[in-house]
Structure 1
């Protein structure tokens, strides 16, 4: 179990500090905390794993957790165990987006935030989740994004969330170009009309407490070092009430891979001066001390970056003693994987399904279907069904298992071992089984061996064709 709060009243020598005084403003409490830190301690707070400060009664904190479509096990901040063995997992984000039902999205957000807070209360999770991904994308098979319609990507809803990846970021690895070297050439009009609306809506309407900038450049300038995009837009125009964090190793990429910065100290200086508050990984904390000592950046800018990080944690109650005494303190393991949450997840699937054509084949009749055959490697898989950036679901259910509960006689034939179907030895057995069926259900689609983060497809051809 994680030590998950500061200002423990049982430690009077630290709990009496102004930073623990809940009658003060968050800003004043944050300033008091920062005033007590050495430069080295400040540096150690600028990465996703913020070091503990034992002399002040502040435990270490892991900022990186994920909750793209349920509390995920991807980030370092979440730990499933016997107390909470799994969490509600909604299916891939593009599916829920296809419902075009904002009420549904709100309910999903309530479920995820409730389960996340419940896990925090028992020391199994943090309070900051670097989700959702709201990049505009135009490939309907995308696993993380919600679509290409700017209005639908912006409306989503406890805990702190972060909208990512800012901005004009729609390439991972494609035809020899990777996300680290990608330079998006975007006109001002296209930026304002296409790529910025989801993020603007996320900050202004959703009142998100964080935005994540990323690896790519926009018109030659890396996003996390661009003061116009960070300070000028996110902070001054949209009035972000929170912090800006870089994607994994982004600042290091600017120095090491694309040579945008001459030295590591230059890279971290440009990022902090542009408005960055935190670096996912440790590049910023490794070089910021030396940057200050070399007079490349003032320590006051480091202080200003930290203020917003701490304000977010204070708004979440991290500095308000035992979380069980706070609002939402009654949440616990019994609030995770509830029947109500599972019913909503099932309903979300039904609302997102798009039926292109129905030639009187659906719905399947229990009475008239005597022999159903399910074909396809994804017909009896679990991991492909829960998609990318997932946690441990409350239960695993394959399409085959669901159909077996509905139809009395179901036969399964994989057809291929994997979705890329490199060997054809199972195709003919599947063909023979199909010939005996009243109804054949072909479970098509991809898995993460075909397309995922850092792996883009170059064509629309079905894998194995």
Structure 2
């Protein structure tokens, strides 16, 4: 291969890139290179062939097959291009299914269902000739002010790791490579601001931010990783061999391909100021371990070629990256592909997609408060109020095709069925009289004109359902999403005022929050003068509104649980339930960081009792903790409980969290039915970085409990880890195995 042929394999080309802002500072980096010139020597990636504009899938597939044939027959080496797309809430293409956002995956706590979703998404991608998906996001949430929270799964690394790895397995079982984002520390940005510096210590990095990525690499076998935009302690991750090579490859044995986040290589010059020009930026990134520059070759083409020819960059570094890219293409079957006939009669939103979307949406809805008004019997008159009550956009996350791309193409239909809550409630309650009032907009801070009409509608109704929250978008186009960071965690605009005035009407109020981040809504939850019930749904996707309507009516019971603490205020951030004793409320400070609702919280339409938590009194440090707990449905409705087991290391060589999730399991029980849930917890789940940053399991006292959240210790037990300090090096990440034994007749 010539140098030019090698470099062509290390870059992408964005065929449809225009003026639309669908990536950070894309307009500033837009390449003027003609497509024919860019692919003359071959090309590594084709960037977002389906996902940049609303293109007909069959027509674009015909074009893509033709282009792949041209690359294989008209370039000297005949190497096809690898095609990548975004797939965070489903394939980001026109008319493709839109699933709940990842924060909803976390709320469902159902890795098996997420794996099924990943496989269904991958099936669509495979059909269209797409080879790599830029998902999942494994950033552990630290600050809900950050706009990209809706792309994340949870604030708990074990939850992120188990659910994210499930997605990887599902996608890759379909023959599409997953890409982990954003390695590493991106979500810990200063003050929750996108791309801001990250100030985390090595221990927090090792024990909180790295484990989800390690699980996906070593247990999920992921084939691609994408760098974080951020710097950690002054060093941009895109230029850090310590992370991209030392940890990822040398420690974990990752042998796939590292791709740059869009324009991250050029950002080493333009945003970080550690490179004098594009050539030096390319050198830093290549040396660190970034194999492929995406979305296009701003730095890895001519600027890098000049560095190689001058002797500043050994060509062996280029060869290293090219061999990884070619190995990936071989693994995907690209080197032997013939591209005979493109697909026809493409259905990107078939019955399987919708079934999974509905199940995941239902499982992710969280009941935060209920005075008995829910489930809602057949009302005669419903006042449906709020800016999100009749909005399909409010059901989809930032990386949905509708909010990511179609927002730049007004008037273009979304291309699939996505009923609003107004439409779904009309279907759910066909005999009810439903009056709809918007009340206010999502974010306008001064327009109060619609609130009076909303209050009047509520007064004339039997029940008022007020639907508030977010509108996802990018870089200022929305209230949450990439680049839409906030200083306040109050509901945007006048939405709080709307809810409070409707409550004052005297009609019972059900508040539904459709959002991409948790908001500080303690005023609605902890007051006797607040709404009668509050539901939280994190962008539930195309089947979200029917799922919510089903839960409101009682056809389905809520079973979602908070994957992130519900914040008390913006001033209490950043916060994590994984805090040591002095990281939470205590008597040496007047500031209370206690969240309004804790991690793991979620109500349903029945009650569950957890009892008889039992463990062996002594377990060796290299053993397995077997814990059993009895769960009973003590109410009068069939429902699903999330059984959560937490632990606390009572004395350690470094400070440890007051609570740490060890395992979880969804259990569905009929009224009066019981089950025994057994958790086999490897002691390695209790491992942490000691003072020398060795990962260890120390002997000592461990307290376990099971409850309805991290803060609820309904039944507890204590054990002693015995034996020597166990050093964990080279072992696979620990995963808790769970077994459910039903003790009473239970048709579920």
TM class, shorter-length: 0.7 to 0.9
SS in 2 for 1:114: helix
Shift of 1:127: 1.0
Matched, 1:47 2:18: no
Alignment of 1:53-452 (within 5 A): 53=71, 54-56=74-76, 58=78, 61=81, 63-73=83-93, 80=94, 86-120=95-129, 126-139=130-143, 142-155=149-162, 156=166, 157=168, 158-170=175-187, 178-179=194-195, 182-280=196-294, 281-282=296-297, 283-322=299-338, 333=345, 336-366=348-378, 369-391=379-401, 394-408=416-430, 409-448=433-472, 449-452=478-481
> Hey, what's the Cα distance between the residues in 1 that align with 2:276 and 2:445?
47
C-alpha RMSD of the superposition: 2.3
Once the two structures are superposed, residues 28-59 of structure 1 have per-residue CA deviations (whole angstroms, 9 ceiling, x without a partner) of xxxxxxxxx32122222222228335233636
Which deviations, in whole Å up to 9, do the C-alpha atoms of 1:207-252 show, x marking residues without a partner?
A: 1111100221112211111111111111111111310011111111
CA distance in structure 2 between the partners assigned to 1:189 and 1:413 by the alignment: 51
Could you tell me how far apart the structure 1 residues matched to 2:119 and 2:344 are?
A: 15
Distance 2:304 2:457 in 1: 65
Q: Secondary structure at the match of 1:440?
A: strand
Residues 334 and 249 of structure 1, relative CA distance in 2, 3 Å threshold: closer
Deviation at 1:168, TM superposition (A): 0.8
TM (norm. structure 1) is 0.81
- In the TM superposition, what whole-angstrom CA distance separates every residue of 1:319-356 from its partner, at most 9, and x where no partner exists? 2224689xxx9x87566322122111111011111111
Question: How many Å separate the matches in 2 of 1:420 and 1:450?
Answer: 11
Pair 1:221–1:139, CA change in 2 (3 A) = closer
Please, which moves more after superposition, 254-263 or 100-109?
A: 254-263
TM-score (norm 2): 0.52
When residues 172 and 395 of structure 1 are mapped into structure 2, their CA distance, relative to the original with a 3 A threshold, is: farther
Can you list the C-alpha shifts for 1:56-102, whole angstroms capped at 9, x where unaligned?
A: 363663644100020003xxxxxx4xxxxx22211111012111111
Between Structure 1 and Structure 2, whose CA radius of gyration is higher? 2
Task: Indicate if the aligned counterparts of 1:419 and 1:445 stay in contact, CA closer than 8 A.
Answer: no
> Which string of whole-angstrom CA distances, capped at 9 and with x for unpartnered residues, describes residues 407-435 of structure 1?
13221100113344541111111111111
Secondary structure in 2 matching 1:211: strand
Alignment gaps of 5+ in structure 1 = 1-36, 74-79, 81-85, 121-125
Give the corresponding residue for 2:493. Answer: 464
Flag the structure with higher strand content: 2
- Return the alpha-carbon distance in structure 1 between the equivalents of residues 118 and 455 of structure 2: 43
Contact 1:378 1:419 in 2 (8 A): no
d(CA) in 2 for partners of 1:438 and 1:324?
62
- The Cα of 1:178 is off from its aligned counterpart by 4.9
| Structure 2 segments unaligned to the other structure (5+ residues) | 14-37, 43-70, 169-174, 402-413, 473-477, 495-748
Residue matched to 1:31:
none
Larger helix percent: 1
The 1-side partners of 2:427 and 2:82 are apart by 42
